[in-house]
């Protein structure tokens, strides 16, 4: 059995991932971390069967990862927390699946360096849904033929999301920029805002929207819209759990969901 710890265990994604680990034949929950529900059973907090695994505070991560013999840490928290905790997991020789979004480029550089310096393997993806990773490929293919078109990315998420724009919107912009000569990003527009050769990125927040991403390519007399809509967080959780199994058997390095899907 692969021993998997989850940080962000009390959160929307953490709870669902714990439920998926409990239902898996190959994975077992070894530890759980959060800043709330400390000391409570992680299975019960996830509305599943008790697992005999208490939620530990992040400050205990090093000791708990080592004493539990954890193989893989799945992290769906906030950028500042992952920035603190990923280097600790790497120093403990624990592989990682990171789903957290909203890193600054400096935070991401430090996380990447800790993974490389400690010779561990990590999957880092802003979106573990299979469909989104196909969406990235379709968008990139379309961009190759539409290099002169105006590009706008519009994302919509629930009203509890902390970061904006979404990691997936930023990932989409990066994919487009691989074929559109590093266009500048413009986040929303206000006041006098003439359009240049840019990628506009817009974040909508409301209600319980799970996650929508639309890319609009607009030219003279026509437009194309490519859209992905998540109906349930299970699409993300299933991908993250698949990634945890996959990352346990690969060489050290930093991987994306595209590597797992064989793209």
Ligand X SMILES: O=C(O)C1=N[C@H](C(=O)O)C[C@H](O)C1
Ligand Y SMILES: NC(=O)C1=CN([C@@H]2O[C@H](COP(=O)(O)OP(=O)(O)OC[C@H]3O[C@@H](n4cnc5c(N)ncnc54)[C@H](OP(=O)(O)O)[C@@H]3O)[C@@H](O)[C@H]2O)C=CC1
166 near ligand X (CB under 6 A): yes
228 is catalytic: no
CB 243 within 8 A of CB 260: yes
Q: How far is the CB of 241 from ligand Y (least distance, A)?
A: 11
49 is catalytic: no
Give me the 212-231 binding string for ligand Y, x by CB under 6 A, dash otherwise.
Answer: --------------------
- Choose between 15 and 211: whose C-beta lies nearer to ligand X: 211
Closest CA to 242 of 261, 217, 220: 261
167 binds ligand X (CB under 6 A): yes
- 29 contact choice in ligand Y, ligand X, none (CB below 5 to 8 Å, kind-dependent): none
CB-wise, 33 or 136, nearer to ligand X?
136
The nearest distance, CB 130 to ligand Y, in angstroms, is 11
Q: Give which of 18, 44, 30, 71 is closest to 250, Cα–Cα.
A: 71
Among ligand X, ligand Y, none, residue 200 binds (CB under 5-8 Å by kind): none
Cis before 168? omega within 30: no
Contact 4, 27 (CB under 8 A): yes
Burial class (CB in 10 A: 0-12, 13-18, 19+), 47: exposed
Q: Are 101 and 157 in contact (CB under 8 A)?
A: no
Do you know the residue count of the chain?
263
Q: At what angle do helices 79-91 and 61-68 cross, to 10 degrees?
A: 50
- Residue 125 is labelled as binding a ligand: yes
x/- string (CB under 6 A) for ligand X, residues 76-115?
-------------------------x--------------
CA separation for the pair 119, 91 (Å, rounded): 9
Min CB(169)–ligand X separation in Å: 7
Q: Residue 123, interface with ligand Y (CB under 6 A)?
A: no
Q: Give the one residue of 43, 81, 157, 243 binding ligand X; rule: CB under 6 A.
A: 157
- 217 vs 236 by CB, closer to ligand Y: 236
Distance of CA 61 to the CA centre of its chain: 20
Catalytic residue of the set 157, 213, 228, 242: 157
Binding residues (CB under 6 A) for ligand X: these are 101, 126-127, 157, 161, 166-168, 211
Binding residues (CB under 6 A) for ligand Y: these are 7-8, 10-14, 33-36, 58, 76-78, 81, 99-102, 125-128, 163, 167, 236
Residues at the binding site are 8-13, 34, 99-101, 125-128, 158, 167-168
Catalytic center residues: 157, 161
């Amino acid at each position: 059995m692969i021993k998997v710890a989850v940080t962000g265990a009390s959160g929307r994604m953490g709870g669902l991932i714990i439920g998926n680990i409990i239902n898996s034949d190959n994975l077992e929950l070894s530890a759980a971390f959060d800043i709330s529900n400390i000391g409570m059973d992680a299975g019960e907090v996830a509305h599943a069967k008790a697992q005999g695994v208490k939620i530990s505070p992040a400050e205990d991560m090093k000791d708990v990862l080592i004493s539990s013999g954890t193989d893989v840490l799945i992290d769906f928290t906030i950028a500042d927390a992952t920035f603190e905790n990923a280097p600790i997991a790497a120093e403990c020789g624990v592989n990682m699946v990171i789903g957290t979004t909203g890193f600054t480029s400096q935070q991401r550089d430090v996380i990447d360096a800790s993974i490389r310096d400690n010779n561990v393997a990590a999957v880092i993806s802003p979106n573990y849904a299979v469909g989104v990773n196909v969406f990235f490929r379709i968008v990139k293919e379309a961009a190759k033929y539409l290099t002169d078109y105006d590009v706008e990315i519009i994302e919509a998420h629930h009203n509890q999301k902390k970061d904006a724009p979404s990691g997936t919107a930023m990932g989409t912009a990066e994919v487009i920029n691989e074929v559109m000569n590093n266009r500048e990003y413009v986040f929303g527009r206000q006041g006098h805002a003439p359009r240049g050769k840019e990628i506009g990125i817009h974040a909508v927040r409301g209600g319980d929207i799970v996650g929508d991403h639309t890319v609009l390519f607009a030219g003279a007399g026509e437009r194309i819209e490519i859209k992905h809509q998540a109906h349930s967080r299970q699409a993300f959780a299933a991908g993250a759990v698949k990634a945890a199994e996959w990352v346990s058997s690969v060489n050290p390095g930093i991987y994306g969901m595209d590597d797992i899907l064989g793209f």
